[in-house]
């Protein structure tokens, strides 16, 4: 027979409840909100401006990881610093490619960039490094939904 020892932190105090699964997934809700708000704000703009905004946003997403990781001190390991730097260069190439190709092709370049960044978010969420896990989750949800909008609706 085994017994389970619980600490005070594991046992909710009387009259309190643990947050439900939806309350624990608040970053998903924030990502959903950001993904809905972004096209709503950008869609009235001309298509070429929408491409520029999305292109530089995918680069900015990578720069945020590099900056946040530096500020947190998580990039002291040369491998993490090299990976973040390579990501910024890679997403910069995606941005440059998106603004130089035909607008019909730009949506696919951007969707690939956002999906790749979503995979980058998953890596960071699982590792628990560079950015807080809630941020990686929020960003991943927004990235996947933006890529989906690009692939289904087009430039918005």
The closest of 137, 139, 115, 116 to 126, measured between CA atoms, is 137
Angle, CA 141 vertex, CA 63 and CA 134 arms, to 5°:
70
Structure tokens, 74: 């998580």
Q: pLDDT digit string (tens) for 81-119?
A: 999 999 999 999 999 999 999 999 999 999 999 999 999
Structure tokens, 138: 């929020």
Distance CA 119, CA 61 (A): 13
Per-residue pLDDT of the chain (156 residues), as tens digits, is: 555 555 455 555 566 666 665 566 787 777 777 878 787 888 889 989 999 999 999 999 999 999 999 999 999 989 999 999 999 999 999 999 999 999 999 999 999 999 999 999 999 999 999 999 999 999 999 999 999 999 998 765
């Amino acid at each position: 027979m085994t017994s389970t020892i619980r600490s005070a932190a594991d046992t909710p105090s009387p009259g309190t409840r643990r947050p439900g699964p939806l309350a624990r997934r608040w970053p998903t809700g924030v990502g959903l909100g950001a993904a809905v708000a972004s096209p709503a704000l950008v869609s009235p703009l001309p298509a070429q401006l929408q491409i520029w905004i999305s292109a530089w946003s995918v680069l900015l997403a990578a720069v945020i990881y590099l900056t946040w990781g530096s500020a947190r001190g998580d990039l002291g390991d040369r491998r993490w610093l090299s990976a973040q730097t390579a990501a910024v260069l890679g997403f910069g190439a995606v941005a440059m490619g998106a603004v130089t190709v035909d607008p019909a092709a730009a949506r696919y370049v951007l969707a690939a960039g956002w999906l790749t960044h979503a995979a980058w978010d998953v890596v960071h969420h699982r590792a628990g490094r560079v950015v807080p896990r809630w941020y990686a989750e929020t960003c991943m949800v927004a990235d996947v939904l933006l890529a989906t909008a690009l692939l289904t609706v087009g430039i918005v």
